[in-house]
Amino acid sequence: MSAKVADLLWEMLANARVKRCYGIVGDALNPVIDGLRRNGKIEFIHVRHEEYGVFAAVAEAYLTGNPVAVCGTAGPGVTHLFNGLMDARKEGAPIIAIAGDVETSLIDTEALEELNPYKFFEAASLYTGRLVNPDQARSVINTAILTAILEKGPTVISIPADVASADVADRSAEITIPNPPLLRPSDADLNQLAKMIDDAKTIAIFGGDGCRDARDEVVELASRLKAPVGYSYRGKQWLEHDNPNAVGMTGLLGYGGAYGAIHEADLLLLLGTDFPFSEFLPGHSVKKVQIDKDPKHIGRRTQVDLGLVGDIKATVTALLGTVRDKTNDRFLRKQLADTNSFHDLLQHYVEKGPEIKPIRPEFLAATLNHLASDDAMFFADTGTACIWTARHITGSRNRRLFGSFTWASMANAAPNAFGAQLAYPGRQSIALTGDGGFTMLGLGDLLTQVERKTPVVQIILNNGSLDFVNIEQQEAGIIPFGVKFQNPDFAKVAEAMGAKGIRIEDPGDVRDGLAEALAHKDGPVVVDAVVDPFALSLPSHVPFHTAKGFTMSMAKQVWNGKMDDVIKTIERNVRLV
């Protein structure tokens, strides 16, 4: 039997170590999916919403480092992929999207479901190829795969059904994937950096996801330089655990002494981070050196005195051979002391948690942290889940923490946890989701988890609101609007859908409820945790305009007859304000 373009596609993807394709079939995709069925090496994960499939794929691809395929059929199926592909681009996940396309005879006729893939995917995709002739196939597929893997992001292969089922002349499906090169700055640049370090009395480090493979080197550098280490949300999982110099995060989720450390040091080393909140980074009073393998990151969030292009591991390893150790640790001790006293503040609502109803999210997250295994994978929805996870989930060498940290889409956590569970069966895969997020995308595909008996733990922060936006609006000085909604009993809904449902309303039930959820291995579980909608978190550094905004909003709420809400906000956060 002669091979078709669809056969070549799946064979090349399988050779590139693609194990799964998430998506929904239909019209233009049918001959493509028929090829997947014939091939048999790649598992098809039939989801109920294409976007859910992409978020699952993003987690799988980010965590394993292997490429993952997703698919959607022409027009609306393809548009459902888009938000997830943006997430893949921002989070650096190698995804290859197989997009159904109209028949070649209909291209550019405004046919039913026709969409120009070049225009449509432009913002998300690192490479988009449209197969209009079988002779392009090997080349386009090769480029899409290599770009996704080596540039760590999404690519798109748009395939009209007639091309997918056409015979292909060049059937060679082998694909050679080069290892990424070792990238480090020149010796002259490294010497300049070493001199700046030697000349500085106090040094702070702030690291991001670029430290993923360089944890041990960065920790050693910090130890030798007596440097406190702060991190972005994406850097937390690599740099916080087992690091005696760890001082927490800065930004609106900030905790610990990170803000002070990076503002009070003589020299700040920014390592593998594109931390986007410039107002939380120091200005000219601190000398700054930024090292990143992506040259575009250098100096774009804050002006730097020296910018070096290189992998953090290779660069720091080279640096360790040239810098002189520091002996005075007074600066470090001060930042660690600040970190410890902030930690005590954070513990207030954890320790008092068993007595406070509605349940404090801090207590819920801290209890989860305590009960989860040492190699658990945690996923946080964009929303307040990010705050509680950042502050109360501690890392370890094998724990993972992931979310839509750079794209910041809602509804990522449940699909992320699903994809992670497929990639690492048997490991705890825990999604901390918003009630807004879960009803946006998580609910429909709970059925997918049920059907596959996938043991994903989704814990819903049931606060009856888009709480993160509720807080945002108050920080902006306005009256919360458009943020409240009604919820069903999610545990009952889950049970009706065939999952295990656990509802927790009482703080006394938090520990047992979470323990029961984590022990459930036969399929998905939904924990409906009714939490305090008035719980606030204060960052370790509160910008003036944020404090002013909050005060303004409180005053406006009083004038507008919302005194009850104001009293509850004050009462329930008295230890923070």
Ligand X SMILES: Cc1ncc(C[n+]2csc(CCOP(=O)(O)OP(=O)(O)O)c2C)c(N)n1
Q: Using CB atoms, what's the residue nearest to ligand X?
A: 434
Q: How far apart are CA 119 and CA 190, in angstroms?
A: 42
Our finding on whether 81 is near ligand X (CB under 6 A) is no
Does 189 contact ligand X by CB under 6 A? no
The interface region with ligand X, picked from 118-126, 243-251, 320-328, 460-468 by CB under 6 A, is 460-468
Residues binding ligand X: number (CB under 6 A): 19
Which of 255, 331 has the CB closer to ligand X? 255
Strands 525-530 and 127-130: unpaired
User: Site for ligand X (CB under 6 A): which residue of 51, 162, 311, 435?
Assistant: 435
131 CB-side CA count, 13 A? 35
Closest CA to 376 of 434, 324, 446, 432: 432
- Residue with Cβ nearer ligand X (409 or 458): 409
Q: What is the widest separation between alpha-carbon atoms in the chain? A: 78
**What's the CA gap between 244 and 260, in Å, rounded?**
17
Q: Which of 409, 454, 473, 474 binds ligand X (CB under 6 A)?
A: 409
For residue 358, count other CB atoms closer than 10 A to its CB: 18
463 interacts with ligand X by CB under 6 A: yes
Query: Measuring CA to CA, how many Å separate 54 from each of 8, 139, 468?
Result: 23, 24, 24
Q: How far is the CB of 72 from ligand X (least distance, A)?
A: 17
For ligand X, the closer of residues 376 and 471 by Cβ is 471
Closest CB to ligand X among residues 29, 368:
368
Contact (CB, 8 A) for 71 and 23: yes
| Residue list 341-400, contact with ligand X (CB under 6 A) | 381-385
Residues whose CB falls within 8 Å of the CB of residue 92, separated by 6 or more in sequence, listed in order: 62, 152, 153, 209
469 binds ligand X (CB under 6 A): yes
**Of the two residues 217 and 467, which places its CB atom closer to ligand X in the complex?**
467
Give the HSE-up count for residue 383: Cα atoms under 13 Å, Cβ half-sphere.
30
Helices (H), 122-232: 137-150, 161-164, 187-199, 215-225
CB of 460 to ligand X, least distance (A): 9
Q: How far is the CB of 54 from ligand X (least distance, A)?
A: 13
536 binds ligand X (CB under 6 A): no
Question: Which residue has tokens 């001060």?
Answer: 334
Beta strands 500-504 and 203-207, pairing class? unpaired
Segment lying near ligand X (by CB under 6 A), choices 64-72, 240-248, 450-458, 467-475: 467-475
CB nearer to ligand X: give 127 or 378.
378
Q: Per CB under 6 A, does 480 bind ligand X?
A: no
Calpha distance 305→289 (Å, rounded)? 6
Using CB under 6 A, pick the residue from 402, 468, 534, 550 that binds ligand X: 468
* C-alpha dist (Å) from residue 185 to 126, 195, 287: 26, 15, 19
At position 297, the amino acid (one-letter code) is H
Q: Are 33 and 25 in contact (CB under 8 A)?
A: yes
By CB under 6 A, name the one of 45, 95, 314, 466 that touches ligand X.
466
Measured from the CB atom, is 227 or 430 closer to ligand X? 430
* Rounded-to-integer distance, Cα 127 and Cα 264, Å: 43
> CB-wise, 193 or 385, nearer to ligand X?
385
Burial category of 136 from C-beta neighbours within 10 Å (exposed 0-12, middle 13-18, buried 19 and up) = middle
Closest distance between ligand X and the C-beta of residue 443, in Å?
12
- Specify the stretch interacting with ligand X by CB under 6 A; choose among 70-78, 194-202, 464-472, 547-555: 464-472
How many other CB atoms are there within 10 angstroms of residue 298's CB atom?
18
Told to check if 441 binds ligand X by CB under 6 A, we report: no
- 150-158, 174-182, 392-400, 430-438 -> range binding ligand X (CB under 6 A): 430-438
Among 366, 461, 504, 526, the residue binding ligand X under the rule CB under 6 A is: 461
CA dihedral 265, 266, 269, 275 (to 10 degrees): 60
* Per CB under 6 A, 465 contacts ligand X: yes
Minimum distance, C-beta of residue 381 to ligand X, in the bound complex (Å): 5
- Shortest distance, position 532 Cβ to ligand X, whole Å: 11
Q: How far is the CB of 435 from ligand X (least distance, A)?
A: 5
Q: Does 225 interact with ligand X (rule: CB under 6 A)? A: no
Name the residue type at position 13: L
Helix, strand, coil fractions of the chain, as percent rounded to 5: 45, 15, 40
Instruction: Give the number of residues written for the chain.
Output: 577
Q: Which of 335, 465 has the CB closer to ligand X? A: 465
338 binds ligand X (CB under 6 A): no
* Residue 532 contacts ligand X per CB under 6 A: no
Q: Does 478 bind ligand X (CB under 6 A)?
A: no
CA-CA distance, 542 to 34, in Å (whole number)? 56
Burial tier of 577 (Cβ tally within 10 Å: 0-12, 13-18, 19+): exposed
Residue 304 touching ligand X (CB under 6 A): no
- Residues numbered 112-141 forming contacts with ligand X, rule: CB under 6 A: none
Give least dist CB 547 to ligand X, A: 21
Please give the Cα distance from 164 to 28 (Å, whole number): 9
Residue number, 137 or 460, with CB nearest to ligand X: 460
Binding site for ligand X (CB under 6 A): 381-385, 408-410, 434-437, 461, 463, 465-469
